[in-house]
Structure 1
Amino acid sequence: ATNQKLGFGALTKGQDILHTISDDVPLIAAKDWKVAGIPEKKIYGMSFITGKHKYTSDMVMAGMMYGKVLRPPSFNAKLVSADLSKAKAMPGITVVQDGDFIGVVAKDVVAAGKALRLIDAKWSEVSDQPSNANIFDYLVKNATAHNQGRDPESRRNDLESNNGDVGVGIKEADFKHALTYNINYIAHVPLEPRAALAQWTDGKLTVWTGTQRPFGVQEQLTRLFNLNKDKVRVIVPDTGSAYGGKHIEDASPEAARLAKVVQKPVKVVWTREEEFTWAYFRPGGVITVEAGVKKDGTITSWKFINYNSGAAGMGTQYKIANQHVAHIPSNTPLRQGSYRALAATANTFARESHVTDLARLIKMDQLDFRLKNLDDARFKAVLQTAAKAFGWSASKANGHGYGIAGEFEKGGYVGTCAEVEVNDDKEVKVLRITQAFECGAIVNPHHLENQIMGSVIQGLGGALFEKIDFANGKILNSSLSSYRVPRFSDIPQIEIILIDRKDLPSAGGGESGILGVAPAIRNAILDATGVALTTLPLIPNGKVS
């Protein structure tokens, strides 16, 4: 052995070596796997713990400069004028202006920040923008599309489904139940804010960025600079988390615009405040649910209307003869986009909360009611597995409550049980979460368990206290000291049961694990107190109100 290293180009000697891959390749059955299916740790997992792992924000290149971009004081503000003279007078500073885009480039990030603060910009701001105080009413009244001026109940898009007749179903019901569920906007809070490093060489652009959609970023850049795709290369180092929040790239165009002017590599790293303010959020929404149920537990009618938060996970797995389900977009006042499991977090919360309420109306156990109204054996299995491990039938102490929820989405089935304690001051403590998860044959049990654990902990934040506070076009809690995320003291005892179905194809495990957390906790609070909470987050101040 010579230990000689060769690149692929040297191995192929410059030849194009092409082999056609057949569509009819026999796959090894999961039961016969020898490598897949065995728990394996990340090869470089320790580097994450020690901080040695490198992300885009850590990258350094020869001659690299640092960029900062001027931001408006509020959403929808328009630039009136900008005095750049003081910034331009700083040694080593390049100021870039292209229409309303203004940025600065310096040899270090401190100098860039100082130069940016020296720019005297005048803005025309928009007054009377929506706030937390009126957002839910606003989203309903501002339902959009080709239907302006029509009654909200007739505002529909193609994300609508009907089965049977909900009017007939309601007449057949012994009990009727209608509630409105409100979903606040929340932030993704990635450990690494948006970051990009851009370099121009001979008219070609290379960008390094932690995006979830490199080809989408390439298209953004080709449009911005009027380039062919072969002139734009996007390289994705490991991303310091995203959770759906880095589908649309913002730092890359900024870094590329600055780098084109100075003809040197330029890195732009957003601050935490910029990430909280100018990145997009998980959509807020309003969900109205009207349902009917017979005394024997049969759900006779189901009307489910989602305003703004999205259509993912909107359909129900429960066997209901009469259904009307629709998503109605709204004119959102905040930038919004993908989040882990998309809108299924909101839709599952509303649906699984309402299903528990129906069970309580007829004095039937939450689990039994679900099983009665399900035909899907896989859905039943995750609920029953979670309930058995949780000790669903066991007695509970005074002030304690049990809740259950389940869902199928993105190829994964999830069943979640939660136990809460509510003291005399109405303070809530989540004590336990037991979650069963099934997504077919498991490729790597260790990684899947980590995904589910992360989903549960992330779900705690959105369930209990995470929300964006805003008013008049400004984010009011744009820091980790003011935006509440789960802390170590918030984490309950968590038990995860993975159901390995080697008779089924492997499916996704990264998203649906978050779905059962909020409704299971909500249903547990209801069990403990009799209070049916209808807004996410459930207890932003830590107490049942």
Structure 2
Amino acid sequence: MSSRFVVNGASHQTSLPPEHSLLRLLRDELGLTGTKTGCGEGACGACTVLVGRRAVRSCVTTLADARDRPVTTVEGLAEGGVPHPVQQAFLELNAFQCGFCTPGWLMAIAALLARTDEPDDAQIEAELAGNVCRCGTYPRIREAVRRAAALLRAAGDEGGDGDEYDVRPPAGAGGMAADPADLGADLPPRRPWDLAEPDERDFFAVLGDGLVAVLPLPAADDPDSPDARWRPNRSAWVHVGASGTVTAFSGKVEGGQGTRGAMALLVAEELGVRPDRVRVVLGDTDVSPFDLGTFGSRSMPEAAQCLRSAAATARQALLKEIGAPAGDPEPGDDEPREIRTGEVGPGGVGPGDAGWGPLLAGVRRVEMVPAQQPVIPAPRWRTAGRPARNAAGIDVVTGAKRFPSDLTRPGMLHGRVLRPPAYGAGLGAVDLSAAQARDGVIAVREDGFVGVAAASPEAAAEALASVRAEWTRAPSEPADPTPAGLAAHLRAHPLASGTGWGAGFRHEAGDVDAALAGSALALRATYTVPYIAHVPMEPRAALAEWSDGRLTVWLGTQRPFGARDALASAFGLEPAQVRVVVPDFGGGFGGKHSPEVAIEAARLARAAGAPVKVQWTRAEEFTWAYFRPAAVIDVAGGVDADGTLTAWEFTNLNSGAAGIATPYRVPAQRIRYQPAASPLPQGSYRALAATANTFARESHLDELARRAGVDPLEMRLRHLDDERLRTVLETAATRAGWDQARPAGTGLGIACGVEKGGRLATCARVRVDEDGRLRVLRIVVAFECGAIVHPDNLTNQIEGATVMGLGGALYEAVRFADGVILNASLHDYRVPRLPDVPPIEVVLVDRPDQPSAGGGEAPIIGIAPALANAIRDATGVRPHDLPLAPHGALARPS
């Protein structure tokens, strides 16, 4: 039997059974991929749509439940190109980062505003508590609800003021991803450009006439060494086309951090063109320059600077072509040179309304970027460093943006993979016969890999459920998975120092033991940090297709070239036979470095002879991804009679050396990182180990100050030589009201640090009730990362990192036993939601005299110690273990 549904005003027939989900109809049959698959259990809100005027979770709403009522998705929210007020508000306030969760928020807010055009804070929090934004844009979302309500009221009173944006696709927008069809999807390069010799790169066959400025990757000292590929990410190319469009290429990727928009602003600045003439191509291994990966906040200080140099070289060549003075003054000159807008030609010195295009018709020219290419100094920026719209915003709020999990190919199948029942389980006999007997099902076993592919996700899940497998189980360690048991396990299983990022670390200056023994006050303590999960809103997804012996994979990953190498190795291919394309994806936070899902999709695609998409479930994402490492950190510190630091000893067990150095002046110090055998898979997480190390360091220093009778802020300032760090510390303290009296039960804590070239200070104000219930009242963050390229996006990143850190500080922790993750669900693993987030004030300290550093990671490190110090201020009790309030109340002190 078929059923009729009215979706976005149009009638549709479906033969899907009534017990199937509404999400299946919308995404798989109607292609309305704005409605996202986030959890499959109604716990994240990414799939929210309207049924009638009621917001529902379409992943748990059956077709029977939705029958006979109109359905509205985000694609149907705008009318005639005029945005719904909530779409308008989200665009005005840039109330998103990766954008994966945004359609669900829009629909939930639209339902709320349909009932009341003036909701109060309690209504907003109650109605929207079921939606998750892992990027942490809650402060902006809350404000967007208020703005949308105001727009609705204005529309009722005055006919509306919500037509500033047209939500139909724009003709061009700065920083948007280029259409793959324009970049060689149909006419690919003869050989990937990063693997081709300079004279073999067929730039113009793919891009058309114009000028290309190329910054080559520096040669390795020993190109045959294993470390030859692990060198700085310093390559870029920029094409200035005869069409007037500028295309900038980088090996970085976009997962919500705003890299694409910032790069577009910098390229536009150097070329003197409007940002809407710049498109930025990221993470396509056929056409992008080689890059190690998007991690470590290196996009701004490395990749963006490479693009600046390439764009500046192109500008110099074009100015020379028209006989104009060769570019801008050196940074030391006092007077800037204007790049005036005018027609290109002998009387002009810059691009006209048509850009540089008229100068380049019939031209096919390559310019190599010199080693010391001058660029426009930050104090003279006219485009970068100023407010700019998010060019991808229209696609985000209309549901037009396509993430890896939204992609399809003709004849595509859906894949599922057999997972072990626990870590360490061994695969024995496997019976695929029941799965293979199903129509249209491909079932595969290759060594330890078992997977199926079928025409729909449901058919693939049913086929996988029919596979019979035998597993062997070994005893799991640690036998005691409590925090104390985990700490004991890590202490009992140290590892010999490795190499690279996993290597141990040791720094020592002075006689620490003697200094501690001679201190007027010496204090020792241990701090612990649990495993936590990344929880990206979009679980891992990959689409693989084989054609003429070549493999193409569309994948959400932070390391496209690493994925290319892994795929080539897995299938016995040369790297040039593999193409990895990374669409903008739904969050990573360090968790999407590894290529498992790409290899899984490629195996099934090879067996099926058809494209196959594999999308992990939320439970798979929780269980089979890696975690932020747990840590046990031993700290000892000493001060003399007037509170001056005399000794510092700091040992991190297991989590890493990032952020381990102290910024404080101390004559005797011993700092160590000791790797350990982890019982769970662990890997990169936003800011790596700097969060754990900053928590321990700033907590211990704070306690030393209090016991020595010294104000914690004064203690920090007294021992700082870094004036940039001093500035943000004083700024945050002033804005937070450090010197103001605090009511009983209320505490104010402060923490600071240097990470990834940025300087950060965070203040947190809390209230602790008599029963131990904790409420965070306010957070202030002062941040400095050199010259600011995109102020609003940087503020957005700081807010989001602070919110993400709030979860890790207060309640996030992975629970496990016997090799099984016990809270592999968004019902059981708590992440920050709208009601959890207090007011956050961000103070940007702009330093145009300093190089731009990244802003995506460093802001997360300050919130946990600031909260711990605030709790100590409010209660007199020092917390030593994260999370601080796993069930809303303070954990018992250790």
TM over 0.5, shorter chain: yes
Aligned equivalent of 1:132, options 481, 496, 501: 481
The answer (yes or no) to whether the contact 1:70–1:102 under 8 Å persists in 2 is yes
Tell me the SS of whatever aligns to 2:594: coil
Which deviates the most, 120-129 or 309-318?
120-129
User: What's the offset of the Cα at 1:47?
Assistant: 3.1
Aligned equivalent of 1:426, options 754, 767, 772: 772
Q: Which amino acid aligns with 2:826?
A: L
Tell me the SS of whatever aligns to 2:778: strand
Q: Which amino acid aligns with 1:252?
A: A
Aligned equivalent of 1:520, options 855, 858, 866: 866
Q: Which amino acid aligns with 1:489?
A: P
Q: Residue in 2 aligned with 1:228?
A: 574
Q: Residue in 2 aligned with 1:75?
A: 423
Tell me the SS of whatever aligns to 1:370: helix
Higher relative contact order at CA 8 Å, sep ≥6: structure 1 or structure 2? 1
Q: Residue in 2 aligned with 1:23?
A: 371
Q: Residue in 1 aligned with 2:42?
A: none
Question: 1:69-468 to 2 correspondence within 5 Å?
Answer: 69-130=417-478, 131-133=480-482, 134-145=485-496, 158-468=504-814
Find the structure with the greater CA-based Rg: 2
Q: Matched residues in 1 for 2:396 and 2:522: separation?
A: 52
Tell me the SS of whatever aligns to 1:18: strand
Q: Which amino acid aligns with 2:436?
A: K
Tell me the SS of whatever aligns to 1:522: helix
Q: Matched residues in 1 for 2:600 and 2:732: separation?
A: 47
Tell me the SS of whatever aligns to 1:19: strand
Q: Matched residues in 2 for 1:313 and 1:347: separation?
A: 6
Identity of aligned residues (%): 49
Aligned equivalent of 1:487, options 833, 836, 840: 833
Q: Deviation per CA, 1:384-415, whole angstroms, max 9, x where unpaired? A: 00011111111111110010000001011000
The answer (yes or no) to whether the contact 2:767–2:777 under 8 Å persists in 1 is yes
Q: 1:480 to 1:218 in 2, by over 3 A?
A: same
Tell me the SS of whatever aligns to 1:42: coil
User: What's the offset of the Cα at 1:129?
Assistant: 2.5
The answer (yes or no) to whether the contact 2:542–2:615 under 8 Å persists in 1 is yes
Q: Which amino acid aligns with 1:494?
A: I
Q: Deviation per CA, 1:309-341, whole angstroms, max 9, x where unpaired? A: 111001100001101011110000100000000
Q: 1:297 to 1:46 in 2, by over 3 A?
A: farther
**Structure 2: which 5+ runs fail to align?**
1-171, 173-180, 184-203, 211-361
Q: Matched residues in 2 for 1:300 and 1:129: separation?
A: 40
Q: Residue in 1 aligned with 2:405?
A: 57
Q: Matched residues in 2 for 1:146 and 1:369: separation?
A: 34
Q: Residue in 2 aligned with 1:150?
A: none
The answer (yes or no) to whether the contact 1:41–1:447 under 8 Å persists in 2 is no
Q: Matched residues in 1 for 2:363 and 2:430: separation?
A: 55
User: What's the offset of the Cα at 1:471?
Assistant: 0.5
Q: Which amino acid aligns with 2:808?
A: G
Q: Matched residues in 2 for 1:534 and 1:178: separation?
A: 11
Computed over aligned residues only, the root mean square deviation of the Cα atoms, in angstroms, reads 1.8
Q: Matched residues in 1 for 2:572 and 2:857: separation?
A: 36
Q: Which amino acid aligns with 1:253?
A: I
Q: Matched residues in 1 for 2:399 and 2:540: separation?
A: 18
The answer (yes or no) to whether the contact 1:179–1:290 under 8 Å persists in 2 is yes
Tell me the SS of whatever aligns to 2:367: coil
Q: Residue in 1 aligned with 2:384?
A: 36
Q: Matched residues in 2 for 1:315 and 1:132: separation?
A: 30
Aligned pairs, number: 534
The answer (yes or no) to whether the contact 1:297–1:372 under 8 Å persists in 2 is no
Tell me the SS of whatever aligns to 2:368: coil
Q: Deviation per CA, 1:358-398, whole angstroms, max 9, x where unpaired? A: 10011111101100111110111111000111111111111
Q: 1:189 to 1:315 in 2, by over 3 A?
A: same
User: What's the offset of the Cα at 1:178?
Assistant: 0.5
Q: Matched residues in 1 for 2:822 and 2:497: separation?
A: 33
Which deviates the most, 291-300 or 474-483?
291-300
Tell me the SS of whatever aligns to 2:366: coil
Q: Matched residues in 2 for 1:458 and 1:317: separation?
A: 24
Q: Which amino acid aligns with 1:34?
A: R
Whose strand fraction is larger, Structure 1's or Structure 2's?
A: 1
Q: Residue in 2 aligned with 1:152?
A: none
Q: Residue in 2 aligned with 1:541?
A: 887
Q: Matched residues in 2 for 1:183 and 1:340: separation?
A: 15
The answer (yes or no) to whether the contact 1:317–1:374 under 8 Å persists in 2 is yes
Q: Matched residues in 2 for 1:302 and 1:452: separation?
A: 30
Q: Which amino acid aligns with 2:860?
A: I
Q: Which amino acid aligns with 1:132?
A: P
**TM-score using structure 1 length:** 0.95
Tell me the SS of whatever aligns to 2:729: helix
Tell me the SS of whatever aligns to 1:367: helix
User: What's the offset of the Cα at 1:165?
Assistant: 1.1
Q: Which amino acid aligns with 1:335?
A: P
The answer (yes or no) to whether the contact 1:194–1:250 under 8 Å persists in 2 is no
Q: 1:132 to 1:16 in 2, by over 3 A?
A: farther
Q: Residue in 2 aligned with 1:151?
A: none
The answer (yes or no) to whether the contact 2:497–2:674 under 8 Å persists in 1 is no
User: What's the offset of the Cα at 1:172?
Assistant: 2.9
The answer (yes or no) to whether the contact 1:411–1:509 under 8 Å persists in 2 is no
Q: 1:456 to 1:315 in 2, by over 3 A?
A: same
Q: 1:15 to 1:207 in 2, by over 3 A?
A: farther
User: What's the offset of the Cα at 1:177?
Assistant: 0.5
Q: Deviation per CA, 1:35-64, whole angstroms, max 9, x where unpaired? A: 011021211224334433210000011100
